Structure 1
Amino acid sequence: MSINSALRAGVSGLVANSSALAAISDNIANVNTTAYKRNQVNFANVVTSQAVKGQYSAGGVQGITRQFVSQQGLIQASGSSTDLAISGDGFFIVADKGAGLTASDARKFTRQGSFSVDADGYLVNDSKLYLQGWPARADGTFDVSPSDLTKMNSINVKNLGAAVAPTQNIAVSANLNKVGVVSAQEAAYTATGANSMAAYADDPTGGTQPDFVIELNVIDSAGGSRKVAMAFLKDDSMNPNQWHAEIYSVPAGDVDNGGGTPGQLASGDVVFNADGTIDLASTTLFGSMGAAPRLTLAASTATGSAMAPAWSDAAGLADQTIALDLGKITQYASTSTVNAISQDGAGVGNIVAIEVDEQGVVSAIYDNSQIRVVAKVGIATFPNSDGLQPVSGNAYRPTLAAGEFTIKEAGVGGAGKISPSSLEASTVDLSAEFTGLIQTQKAYSASSKIITTADQMLEELINIKR
């Protein structure tokens, strides 16, 4: 009966507009939710077969929910270095727990990048979802896989321990006085043994006192500070541009040189050109002429040094090689002086900040200026992200409609770049939602009028019998 079909059409209108109202309500409620994607209920007509010629049977309407997951929200600056936003396509990969994550634990996908460090050191967002990333290897690289989620772990930025950077490079800028008087002790000087400059540093009552000493600070493998001295004694020879030189440890007991001169690491001559610049090709301080200016200390041993020189057994240190840049040591007619000394290396440091760059590399910043790479955030992309299934926490699960995901490095292969210290805003437009709210209300009222009118017509039909 046509009146009955009209009733059903009116009911379908009420149901469809109720769904539209629910979607609008959800949008308005989440206007300030980070990276929230608005939903919309679209309407499609329902057509029924016309069984009786000359009579029309109403079909009604059905509501079809549409997600705008792929719509980009406005990227806004944030005051936290762990807040992240994706500029472009893709999703952060997250899990419901940090520690003990297994292959059977479900992973989710979200663009809500309001991450912070929890009590256990994990990066977790406001919905308590843990950020996943590829852990850094010892050499600073990552085992990147486009589909294997098990290669990713919850990123932890606290359980890293302290950071130490042993000294590897030292650059010295200094001048040796070309017109200085040759010391009276120079005649008895020997490069090794009791008359060496290293012997004088160990016991000032013996040895040969140097004309000039440059002290260098060295950070060892345990983060301790050691002192190495570079001593110079003007050579009373036919070559006025030549100096005796030694490098030794202060105190001498820090190193073991296999029974040689206590603390001595190197000895030889330093030669200068006539213009006052150093002649490294003729310098013998590091062995033969032209040898690279480098100090090598073998690791400490438990049964005495197997190599010389080495760190002392009591120090218990790893081997260390230090490259010396002596190119700015000069010999001019001016007072011997140190102009500048620069070296790398850093003692024990603790984490003071966490930073993430545009490529998704998470780094820990230490108070000794060291930077340690922790992990790299992967970006998951889908062929049809609008087909994802929403779950609580402003996250999504994969579906057949969304297609197979691919994990990419940020900014590579169509994946969006990561914007550190930023958050993506909700895509809800309040003016559009309020307009839709008015339209939905009117449409709902109109559908209710259909039911009222059909009821009145049925009442008239019943009254015919009277």
Structure 2
Amino acid sequence: LSIDGAGFFVVSTRCEPVNANTEISFTRAGSFTPNADGFLKNTAGLFLMGVPLDSNGEPPANLVLSGLQPINVSNLTSTAEATTSLALRANLQSSQPINAAVTGGTYNAGTLAGSMAGYAADIDAGVIPPVNGVKSDFQTNMQVFDARGGVHTVTFAALRQADNLWNVEMFVDPPSEVTSGLAGTGQIISGQMAFNGDGTLNVAGTTPALLNPVTVNWTGGANAGNITFDLGTDGLSDGITQFAGDSTLISSSSNGATFGNVIGVSVDKDGVISALFSNGLAKKVFQLPLSTFQNPDGLTRRQGNSYTVSDQSGSLNLKFAGIGGAGFVAPQTLEASTVDLAGEFTSLITIQRAFSASTKIITTADEMLTELNNIKR
């Protein structure tokens, strides 16, 4: 690591959170590598200090020295991420023939409710089972993840009910993977989608439940999921549409990921250290603070190209990268020298000009002495 700016990394001789006994120093030598325990150290044995981030990847509200701790890149746990949003873009053919809903048979009062499952009478309630030859006019499968990283298939199905009106449902296949929704069907949500005369979504005529977060209760002990289905914007064609073209899937996307192990870490220009997982996720875990001083030339030099605060340097100012002249972190680079080349070249030119001027003064004085000698003769 290196710093593009005036800041210094915060390091410590002790592998522990900062306390009253911690020996803090500052360096721009950024050659840090993990030791046997996974803590980042430089060649002088100094531990790199950072701020732990919360579960949302955010730093604490107040950046203080006592909040720093040595950065460890080996104790990062494996992770999975539950799906919380699912977006669907598709077209439902506006000229699709309307399949008339059929009504189930008549049953005695003592008939078990379970014996009625799968009958087309459910179509009237928004459920679209493939019975009696009545199937959905369009359906597509999407992949979602539970909190443990388990993979599940959610099917979106639609059946044209009337002009500008479709019965839709979403269900999990196989149904045994969920306990929510209509028993034995895997259904997690159903309702009607309405469209405007121009083929765009009509939110006012659409069942509100289709547009609100849905709780999905998974079997097997995984935490319940809370999924929001993005089916489009009112009056726009950015989701589900109803045009004259064939019913077709345009795109679908969802967040979440299956279980993954840590495969590496990355550092960005703001000093944020992220754990990289085999499932493609990246989790922010630490952020590097940078220290600045009113007079960095007044710092007291210590071992390992590190420095400590002195009366001449002024007090420590702890900042994140990009704030108050601290500069930015440059990953995958090392600072070959702490010298400001531009400033040094300016000083060199100034000295060279002063030397030239002094040389001319001496030459002029020598010529005057020579002339005086000639006059004397």
TM-score range, shorter-chain basis?
0.7 to 0.9
Q: How many residues align?
A: 322
Q: Indicate which of 183, 205, 214 corresponds to 2:140.
A: 214
Q: Is the 8 A contact 1:257 1:265 kept in 2?
A: yes
2: CA distance between counterparts of 1:244 and 1:334?
19
Kindly indicate whether residue 231 of structure 2 is the aligned counterpart of residue 316 of structure 1: no
Partner of 1:411: 322
Kindly indicate whether residue 181 of structure 2 is the aligned counterpart of residue 264 of structure 1: no
Structure 1 424/350 Cα, relative in aligned 2: closer, same or farther at 3 Å? same
AA aligned opposite 1:149: L
Structure 1 89/258 Cα, relative in aligned 2: closer, same or farther at 3 Å? closer
Kindly indicate whether residue 268 of structure 2 is the aligned counterpart of residue 357 of structure 1: yes
2: CA distance between counterparts of 1:296 and 1:351?
31
Aligned-pair CA distance for 1:422:
1.9
2: CA distance between counterparts of 1:90 and 1:295?
45
Larger radius of gyration: 1
Q: Is the 8 A contact 1:133 1:153 kept in 2?
A: yes
Kindly indicate whether residue 257 of structure 2 is the aligned counterpart of residue 346 of structure 1: yes
2: CA distance between counterparts of 1:94 and 1:144?
22
1: CA distance between counterparts of 2:220 and 2:269?
46
Aligned-pair CA distance for 1:112:
0.4
Within 5 A, what are the aligned runs for 1:5-404? 84-98=1-15, 102-143=19-60, 145=62, 148-183=64-99, 186-188=101-103, 194-195=119-120, 196=122, 209-235=135-161, 239-257=162-180, 260=183, 262-284=185-207, 286-287=208-209, 293-297=211-215, 310-326=216-232, 327-404=238-315
Q: Is the 8 A contact 2:127 2:190 kept in 1?
A: no
Q: Deviations over 1:203-247 (max 9, x none)?
A: x67895322212121122211111111111222xxx323222222
Q: TM-score with structure 1 length normalisation?
A: 0.61
SS of residue paired to 2:66? helix
Aligned-pair CA distance for 1:102:
4.7
1: CA distance between counterparts of 2:178 and 2:337?
63
Aligned-pair CA distance for 1:199:
7.6
Q: Deviations over 1:405-449 (max 9, x none)?
A: 2212223223232222222113589xx9xxxxxxxxxxxxxxxxx
Aligned-pair CA distance for 1:131:
0.7
Structure 1 354/410 Cα, relative in aligned 2: closer, same or farther at 3 Å? same
5+ residue gaps, structure 1: 1-83, 298-309, 433-466
Identity %: 34
Q: Is the 8 A contact 1:212 1:232 kept in 2?
A: yes
Q: Is the 8 A contact 1:200 1:206 kept in 2?
A: no
AA aligned opposite 2:136: P
AA aligned opposite 2:321: A
AA aligned opposite 2:212: R
Structure 1 277/408 Cα, relative in aligned 2: closer, same or farther at 3 Å? closer
SS of residue paired to 1:422? coil
Q: Deviations over 1:5-51 (max 9, x none)?
A: xxxxxxxxxxxxxxxxxxxxxxxxxxxxxxxxxxxxxxxxxxxxxxx
AA aligned opposite 1:314: G
Aligned-pair CA distance for 1:152:
0.2
Q: Is the 8 A contact 2:86 2:252 kept in 1?
A: yes
> What RMSD, in angstroms, separates the aligned Cα atoms of the two structures?
3.1
Q: Deviations over 1:364-393 (max 9, x none)?
A: 233333221111111122333323332221
2: CA distance between counterparts of 1:414 and 1:278?
50
5+ residue gaps, structure 2: 106-116, 233-237, 345-377
Q: TM-score with structure 2 length normalisation?
A: 0.75
Aligned-pair CA distance for 1:153:
0.4
Structure 1 333/156 Cα, relative in aligned 2: closer, same or farther at 3 Å? same
Q: Is the 8 A contact 1:199 1:262 kept in 2?
A: no
Q: Is the 8 A contact 1:220 1:320 kept in 2?
A: no
Q: Deviations over 1:54-76 (max 9, x none)?
A: xxxxxxxxxxxxxxxxxxxxxxx
AA aligned opposite 1:321: I
Aligned-pair CA distance for 1:85:
1.3
